[in-house]
Structure 1
């Protein structure tokens, strides 16, 4: 389990869409960080449950399932990224104050993490490597436990990222807007790469 945790932590500390979302929550205010991070951890756990439920076998049998997940996740990241770029000082994803609630931040965080196809692919490839077929626990339960450890790592790291961005940039509006635009651009870039990858795979003839 220690080896899995080390690999999981390495993945978590690598900046990506989850980092961008945690930073945007911190820029929006300290009270938004906890629900946003909880949503990100919940999304990671949902991705783990999908792996435990046998999504890997489903994807192997029906490749279009992975394509659909990738396109949906990329479209969502694109929408969030464009909104952050266009309105860096406003509520995340164009929310008004009335709708800028903790529940919205939690739900959006769950979608950002849970619909991230790269995370799902990493978990599909990573979790089975640390499962012991001879262990007393069922394989699915082992995957859930390992996924829970990964989600806990996500919560700790992203909480630090969100609170750190709030503390460092909270009193610097100009810098906060710049960082928000960079975060939005990062989401757009990730979405574009995911879409381009699907177009490339679709255009490449099977060998």
Structure 2
């Protein structure tokens, strides 16, 4: 029986070991995300890492990363295919990791719908995500811009005012939101100027206000002006 008696130290070591294993298992599928964060100012390398994740990860995270690549390249139909496939996978599974991944998928879907011009659908998802994470800047930015794109300027300004407490005044996210609000107000020249400022400030890879879309909006509003 003496062999089965555990000392306080061995119990602590056992708990630490189990916690460490659980932590590693939870975060391991996201390892390429962490690498991408470290090199986010090198878009080509980010792309390579995300594609590697798609090939190596046998989980829904790989599909999420592949969708991210397609979105940043402006291939929205392909991105949608990978997102929907991934969403089907995570909805069938349970557990904390799947709940986290599910939120990532719906966040991506909301941005994708925004880029495809489905602003009301994008807004609906973004508002649900905001209820779960009200202090997330990029969700507030998406809400503000969606309201602006559907002509709800007051709501857009309200979301923008909350966002401005979280972001620097010169951040590309804040500049883009200001640009969309000015466009909604009927000031295309001012909007174009702000979009150019956002474009010059954006120096990292992200699905939030991708460079391709900023350039598209500049082109559209320049014609309007």
TM-score (norm 1): 0.26
- When Rg is computed on C-alpha atoms for both structures, the one with the higher figure is 2
Relative contact order, higher structure (CA 8 A, sep 6+): 1
TM-score normalized by the length of structure 2: 0.25
